[in-house]
Structure 1
Amino acid sequence: MLAIENEYRTPDFCVVSHVNNAALSRFLVRFLWCMLCALTPYCAVSQTVEVRIEQADEIARNPAVVDGQRLIGDVRLSVDGAVVHCDSAWRYTDGRFQMMGEVRVEDGPMALFGRQLTLHPDSGVGTMTGPQVRLVDRSEADGARTLVTKQTIYDFREGVARYAGGGEVRTQGELITSEQGRYQRDSGRMDFMGEVDMEVDTLRVSAERVGYLPKSRRLLLTVPTEIRYPSGGVDCARGEWDLEAGGGWFAGDSVSLARFRDGDLVVTGDSLALTDSLGVARGRVLLTDTVGTYRLGGNAVDFEREADGEAGQVAMRGEAFAWLNEGDAPLLVQGPTITIATDSALQRTLFAGDGAALYSDEVTGAAEQLAWSEREGRVDLEGAPVLWSGSDQLTGDSVRLFLRDGAADRLEVRGHAFVASPAAGGFFHQIAGRDLEGTFSESGLEEVAIFGNGRTL
């Protein structure tokens, strides 16, 4: 029995050989598949365009002059779905066509004009040249858009035109120049590259590359771009401008923030989104005015855009802060959330409802809620308020700080008023009562008066 078992046992080397053969087979299949994918582009049959002679007054051949056919007089050719008109043409034995005279290509909404067109049917690409080559897009009902170049290469299969060596688009309300560019027949999209300078409506755009979608009136910005208009402008690393809405979205990069200016309002941040009346900024946001009356910021800021270029209501979240310059003394408020509004008389109010800190030359304060009124020249602290003036500390149920030219002038503490001031030997003078009123001088808190149950501790 042992001999029979040994006789029919599969040798170890056979098992290994079987495994190795399977792995080799998988390797060969993958290798052949990769080779097939790599060679496919070279083995593919060229997609030629069909060129038919539709019209010619005369067709002649003179081998002594050129090896090909001569088409003379009112020549019309069809190239796939396009129609080419010219005065005369050569058809060479290698399949090339050379159209001459007043050459015109009609392909859907696009027309291309020049003096000479060389067409290679095997690639479907034609090169139009002349003293002035004009590409006219008539896809919009309100008028045509004309691109003027010295040479344009047109892909009849794809409906894509390319140019280099400079081009200019000039229509009513538009003047666009660039070193090179591309036009897409089906969408009407135009991409401008190299020293792009655009004047569209009231905008002036400068960049190395700009995409233009005339049908939807949008500018696609993929490289650092400068946009200017009469009341301000935008600087960004990338973004999109909606000409109809008068705004768009814009982003900065690792080198610079996106920047928006309109009238006196200046906004910078990692990203900005703007409409006619609203703005949204995210990441390292800073709002300032050009005359230096305020500096606002946070991780996220929403703001209203007023017609006169002022900021309307501003809502800040995430490490929010507000530098308010009233008179000669700046006032700084910090908190998780801060909202600032401007009334019709251009008087500002501020509210911080999730905890806030106050800093000025004379006082420092903190409370659960803080409100500031420019009209009344007053700061209200509610919810466990505490105020420091030099080494003096004041607390109560609520604190009102009155300002004169931005500096602390007097204060009112209502409910459980308490003052602590350092004394000799590490002790403190302590005064408590129902209410407290105090006045300030240039050196700080000068005098306090206690009302109701006053006592010294």
Structure 2
Amino acid sequence: MEILNADYVEVTSDSAGTTRRLEGNVRLRQDTTDLRSNRAVYYETRGEVVLDGAVRIVSGRDTLTAATVTYDSNTKTALADGAVRVGDGESVLLAPTATYDSRAEVSAFSGGGRILHRGAVLTSPSGTYSSARRVAEFEGPVTLDDSSGTLVAERGTYDANIRRADFAGTVRLRRPDAALDADSVVYFRRTERARAYGRVVLERIGDGGSVERSPEADPDSTRRTFLFGETLLFDGQEETASIRGEEAGEGRPARPPLLLVLSADSTGRVDSTVVRAPRIDAARLVAGADTSTVITAAGGARLWERRLAAVADSARFVRTPAADSTAPALDWLGLYGSRPSVWADGSQLTGDSLFVSVRDGTADSLRVRGQAFAARLDSTLGRLQQIAGARMLGLFDGDAIRSLGVGPNAQVVYYRATADGLLSGADELSADTLTFQFADGELRGVTGYGGIEGTTYGATVVPDDPRLPGFAYDPDAPTRASVLGDGWEVGWLERYGPTFAPPASFDPPEDPADAPPEAEEGGDDDATAEADRSSGRP
């Protein structure tokens, strides 16, 4: 240990060795480590120096400041106490107490500490930061705050080189319009991408809205979208999410991920849409001044909502919010694959593809393309009323069907009943196109155009089981209970179910005023990144 400067020096010697007491502008050096303070006591024999008052130690690219420091020249270790700050030109550690190893370039802190790195504040009761590796490890609960949101967990690590957080143990990521819960999360700050594992729940608040919406405005909390699964890829900048479920194991069937969309109307009634499929992807697409929410379910989708139920190889749901508060929002559902089916208003409709549109929560139209077929069980007669054709168009009024157009090659089988509910006959009719008019859910009239042919049967000669082209009928439509299931997702919803209260205001954290210049320097790393609980709930 080399004494470079001191305004006053007092030297004493005893059986314990030589002690030097230094006062005023104290400066010492060991190899490339420079130590400065107002006062110091140097125990020369055991190689220990106690520095007090405006202590500053510079070792390589690291700078340590504190109220007092005990420095061991044998191990090149500093035990710092009181307003400790360690900066490496890129990150800054702030703690009440810390131990700094200048050879390993590692700081260990306790009593609660903060690490500042490029707009992020990481807080934990204890942990370590390696200036050499630029990696922080947190031994207790850890919180990461930056302008995009807040990430909390029971433990974790942070790599400042690529701005990557690996957090585990009840991880929660909160953003202004989203919340993510998982057993573990890998989060990249630069791209705002997250990989979540375990029991994953992603909640999105609102339906996109206008891209011109003020950033300060709260998202529409009357609409919430939940994704449940085992693995999630989330991109906060692109606003996309892709979730997968639990794969089949020994004696355990596969568990597809779950999508739940909840919407509250002006009266407070909450409508829910429940979907299960092996793969579910969600995105927000910008079109002009509006942003639409697009959700795709593939690999065999089952869907239930108040107005209808459906099964399909794949389904695509698009919601376009209203341009202003007076215009209705438009929901659009497309079903594809091997003969998807929709159950609505007591009927089953099947075709090569089906499309349903809903305006402001009310069914608007239903289109069936390719081998269109509709069946409705007459509960009185126990017979299937049937309609078939190349295409169908159904129009609704207040969720009840108003008219149905079929064609070309339209066909119908219709059974007639007596006033006593007995079979009185049946009609088979074909035409280029047929239009059916309904009132109160009952058929009131049929109009045919071009190539009209038909057969009327009496009660005694009605065919037993006629089947029109494209016949498909399954009385067991998906129900809310069958799609939702009885797994951990149900328990989560029962515990943390949304209240539809406006979300708490979100204030991006600011760097503490005492953050040194080192925390602001440095350019963006060129590393390649891989791909809420809001409302105050855990």
- Name the amino acid aligned to 2:319: R
Residue 436 of structure 1 corresponds to which residue in structure 2? Answer: none
- Name the amino acid aligned to 2:349: V
Are 1:366 and 2:388 counterparts?
yes
Residue 347 of structure 2 corresponds to which residue in structure 1? Answer: 331
Task: Report the CA distance between 1:424 and its aligned residue.
Answer: 5.2
1:198-227: per-residue Cα shift (whole Å, max 9, x none)? 432143332222333333334432332223
Asked whether the 8 Å contact 1:355–1:370 carries over to 2, the reply is no
Asked whether the 8 Å contact 1:73–1:88 carries over to 2, the reply is no
- Name the amino acid aligned to 2:225: G
Asked whether the 8 Å contact 2:330–2:360 carries over to 1, the reply is no
Task: Report the CA distance between 1:261 and its aligned residue.
Answer: 1.4
* Alignment CA distance shift 1:106-1:255 (3 Å): same
- Which of 410, 414, 419 is the aligned partner of 1:389? 414
Asked whether the 8 Å contact 1:75–1:89 carries over to 2, the reply is no
* Alignment CA distance shift 1:333-1:403 (3 Å): same
Query: How big is the alpha-carbon RMSD for the aligned residues of Structure 1 and Structure 2?
Result: 3.3
- Name the amino acid aligned to 1:348: D
What are structure 2's unaligned runs of at least 5 residues?
1-29, 206-220, 247-253, 264-270, 285-290, 323-327, 379-384, 416-425, 465-538
CA distance in 2, matches of 1:427, 1:198: 63
Residue 406 of structure 1 corresponds to which residue in structure 2? Answer: 441
CA distance in 1, matches of 2:53, 2:462: 111
Equivalences for residues 39-58 of structure 1 within 5 A = 52-57=32-37
What are structure 1's unaligned runs of at least 5 residues?
1-49, 429-457
Asked whether the 8 Å contact 1:80–1:156 carries over to 2, the reply is no
TM-score w.r.t. the length of structure 1 is 0.70
Task: Report the CA distance between 1:151 and its aligned residue.
Answer: 0.7
- Name the amino acid aligned to 1:388: V
- Which of 139, 147, 151 is the aligned partner of 2:122? 147
Task: Report the CA distance between 1:77 and its aligned residue.
Answer: 3.3
Task: Report the CA distance between 1:359 and its aligned residue.
Answer: 1.3
The total of aligned residue pairs comes to 366
Residue 513 of structure 2 corresponds to which residue in structure 1? Answer: none
Are 1:259 and 2:259 counterparts?
yes
* Alignment CA distance shift 1:208-1:80 (3 Å): farther
- Which of 53, 66, 87 is the aligned partner of 1:106? 87
- Name the amino acid aligned to 1:387: V
1:254-313: per-residue Cα shift (whole Å, max 9, x none)? 324231415246252321222141312222324444xx1122442222222132796522
CA distance in 2, matches of 1:198, 1:344: 31
Residue 437 of structure 1 corresponds to which residue in structure 2? Answer: none
Are 1:418 and 2:443 counterparts?
no
- Structure of higher RCO (CA pairs closer than 8 Å, 6+ residues apart): 2
- Name the amino acid aligned to 2:336: R
Task: Report the CA distance between 1:100 and its aligned residue.
Answer: 3.2
Equivalences for residues 277-292 of structure 1 within 5 A = 277-279=292-294, 280-289=296-305, 292=306
Asked whether the 8 Å contact 1:56–1:73 carries over to 2, the reply is no
1:116-148: per-residue Cα shift (whole Å, max 9, x none)? 32244565433112x2211122x1xxxx43222
Q: Secondary structure at the match of 2:452?
A: strand
* Alignment CA distance shift 1:53-1:207 (3 Å): same
1:56-114: per-residue Cα shift (whole Å, max 9, x none)? 236654267x5544455444334543322233232242444433333211123421111
- Name the amino acid aligned to 2:375: Y
Residue 307 of structure 2 corresponds to which residue in structure 1? Answer: 293
Asked whether the 8 Å contact 2:183–2:196 carries over to 1, the reply is no
Task: Report the CA distance between 1:160 and its aligned residue.
Answer: 0.9
1:365-415: per-residue Cα shift (whole Å, max 9, x none)? 222222212258111221333222246433333222222222323323332
Structure 1 stretch displaced more, 396-405 or 352-361: 396-405
Asked whether the 8 Å contact 1:222–1:238 carries over to 2, the reply is yes
Q: Secondary structure at the match of 1:240?
A: strand
CA distance in 1, matches of 2:195, 2:231: 8
TM-score w.r.t. the length of structure 2 is 0.60
- Which of 135, 151, 154 is the aligned partner of 1:179? 154
CA distance in 2, matches of 1:368, 1:79: 80
Residue 240 of structure 1 corresponds to which residue in structure 2? Answer: 233
- Name the amino acid aligned to 1:76: R
Q: Secondary structure at the match of 2:139?
A: strand
Task: Report the CA distance between 1:185 and its aligned residue.
Answer: 1.4
* Alignment CA distance shift 1:304-1:191 (3 Å): same
Equivalences for residues 218-233 of structure 1 within 5 A = 218-228=193-203, 229=205, 230=221, 231-233=223-225
CA distance in 2, matches of 1:372, 1:294: 14
Residue 10 of structure 1 corresponds to which residue in structure 2? Answer: none
Q: Secondary structure at the match of 1:368?
A: strand
CA distance in 1, matches of 2:440, 2:132: 73
1:309-361: per-residue Cα shift (whole Å, max 9, x none)? 96522222113222223xxxx22211121122345895522222211210113
Are 1:77 and 2:57 counterparts?
yes
CA distance in 1, matches of 2:69, 2:357: 72
CA distance in 2, matches of 1:419, 1:81: 94
